Amino acid sequence: MRYAHEVDKVRAAEAALLARLPEGTLMQRAAAGLAAVCASLLPRVYGADVVLLVGGGDNGGDALYAGERLARRGARVVAVPAGSRTHPAGLAALLAAGGRLGDAAEIDTADLVIDGLTGIGGGGALREPYAALARRANETPGLVVACDVPSGVDANSGRVEGEAVRADVTVTFGTHKPGLFIDPGAARCGVVELVDIGLGPELPDPDVTVTGPDDVDPPLPGPESDKYRRGVVGIVAGGEQFTGAAVLSTGGAVHGGAGMVRFVSVAPAVAVVRRRWPEAVTTVIEPGDAAGLAAAGRVQAWVVGPGLGTGDAAAALVAAALGTDVPVLVDADGLTVLARHRDLLPGRTAPTVLTPHAGELARLLDADRADIEARRLEHVRRAAAELRATVLLKGSTTLIAAAGRPVRVNPTGTSWLATAGTGDVLSGLIGALLAGGMAALDAAAAGAYLHGMAARLAADGAPLAAGDVIGALPAAFRTLAGT
């Protein structure tokens, strides 16, 4: 698992460490790490053309001292200041090592450009001449290495307003920053390399974590297992018109490790599920028959919403599921219902998992979709707190939040997942993990990880359909065991 801390915590940790170290020690540690990564990216350092884009703060100082180290190894290093102010000691060190000052035209022929314009202190859109330097860096044929965080990317949120450097590699210091992992900023970072500068003992609990394979621990059957001990998940999905979501969410549960899947819906949806998934135990109910849902049999978790519709009948079934004392996952149409009936959530004592995309979350929070896309971390935290639920916000970066816990970022997936029905598969998969006994936050994070891994395996660089993700789930589980 990778950990990320917001800027105020990084600053506090730096201050605590600086109080015990000689002046300049942290900057030299950062510069040494930055220079080492840059050297490893070049075919050879001697004779390489390196350009430093230098702002007026400590980020510019890091770049200048790194440039000094590269110059002493024979690189031709040019510093391009973004303004009249630069780090004086860093510039003096660079010039003493044989580096020189230059202008923006040097960027065009550089083998490597180091972005030291703004760093973690930057916020909002880049102003000129910073924006012009960022644009020019994005057009260079050479490699671009960002110092701590690409300029123009908000270190806390990943928000990008206007121009931003698009790095091939980002070298970050002390700890990761949340914006390195959250789109749209994450897309500007390239490969992220962490340089240890000694902050570890000073850092508090992280604000964001990135799930790794060692963090995904789905329930596994043992010698004493039977279908009931492995977990029975109930799925309420599909309707008279929309039956595909019923098939896909059931498939996600069947291949997600559930001991049994109980599928409850109206006759047309039950008919297609029986044909596709004979493993599922099915119950036919009339539209909105809450009593029929309750009578379907015992489950350890419910999944409600995919393809269910958004009328009064659907609302009755969503209310019935949320009225139980077992974990409930609400997705798709169920979220639209919930946006009109938020009173269904406050009285629950059992875990609730909500899996919206940005549009659905906008309805749940009465917010603007574009603002949610721009401030994903802020809104997923708000949703978890206001709705008293574990919230999985789908998108190019999937975020999972629960009140009082670090937000989890899912690193797996592929852009081919942006196709109809894949969210239904995810809901069934997470439902199976909930029924197997996983805590809500863990189940949501594990489900997102496995779902994204299955999509990568299924797509292999080509288009995929939701059913392909179901078929690849066993292989995704096997990746956790390294087989």
Check whether 125 is labelled as a binding-site residue: yes
Check whether 357 is labelled as a binding-site residue: yes
Backbone torsions φ then ψ of 52, nearest 5 degrees: -105, 125
Check whether 460 is labelled as a binding-site residue: no
Check whether 250 is labelled as a binding-site residue: no
Question: What is the CA angle 98-101-102, rounded to 5?
Answer: 125
Check whether 123 is labelled as a binding-site residue: yes
Check whether 341 is labelled as a binding-site residue: no
Nearest to 314 by CA among 343, 335, 298, 283: 335
Nearest to 249 by CA among 63, 8, 431, 122: 431
Structure tokens at 372: 């949610």
Strands (E) in 218-347, as ranges, are 232-236, 260-265, 281-284, 301-304, 328-330
**Measured between alpha carbons, how far is 161 from 131 in angstroms, rounded to an integer?**
11
Check whether 122 is labelled as a binding-site residue: yes
Strand order across the 208-210 sheet = 2-4, 208-210, 407-410, 398-401, 390-393, 352-354, 328-330, 301-304, 232-236, 260-265, 281-284
Check whether 343 is labelled as a binding-site residue: no
Q: How many helices (H) and strands (E) does the chain have?
A: 16, 18
Nearest to 351 by CA among 248, 430, 448: 430
> Contact, 2 vs 209, CB < 8 A?
yes
Check whether 185 is labelled as a binding-site residue: no
Check whether 395 is labelled as a binding-site residue: yes
In the beta sheet, which residues pair with residue 282?
A: 263
**Looking at residue 160, what DSSP letter applies?**
B
Check whether 249 is labelled as a binding-site residue: no
Check whether 396 is labelled as a binding-site residue: yes
What is each CA distance from 34 to 30, 54, 61, 111, 444, in whole angstroms?
Answer: 6, 14, 12, 16, 36
Check whether 58 is labelled as a binding-site residue: yes
Amino acid (one-letter) located at 144 = V
Amino acid (one-letter) located at 9 = K
Check whether 186 is labelled as a binding-site residue: no
**Measured between alpha carbons, how far is 479 from 472 in angstroms, rounded to an integer?**
11
Check whether 62 is labelled as a binding-site residue: yes
Check whether 119 is labelled as a binding-site residue: yes
**Measured between alpha carbons, how far is 7 from 187 in angstroms, rounded to an integer?**
20
**Measured between alpha carbons, how far is 72 from 342 in angstroms, rounded to an integer?**
64
Check whether 61 is labelled as a binding-site residue: yes
3-state percent breakdown (helix, strand, coil) of the chain, nearest 5? 45, 15, 40
Please, what sign has the CA dihedral across residues 364, 365, 369, 372?
Answer: negative
> Contact, 171 vs 148, CB < 8 A?
yes
Check whether 115 is labelled as a binding-site residue: yes
Check whether 130 is labelled as a binding-site residue: yes
Cis-peptide, bond into residue 129, ω within 30° of zero: yes
Check whether 397 is labelled as a binding-site residue: yes
> Contact, 429 vs 447, CB < 8 A?
yes
> Contact, 407 vs 444, CB < 8 A?
no
Output the known binding site: 58-62, 115, 119-125, 130, 148, 151, 245, 307, 357, 394-398, 423-424
Output the known binding site for AMP: 394-398, 423
Output the known binding site for (6S)-NADPHX: 58-62, 119-125, 130, 148, 245, 307, 357, 424
Output the known binding site for K(+): 59, 115, 151
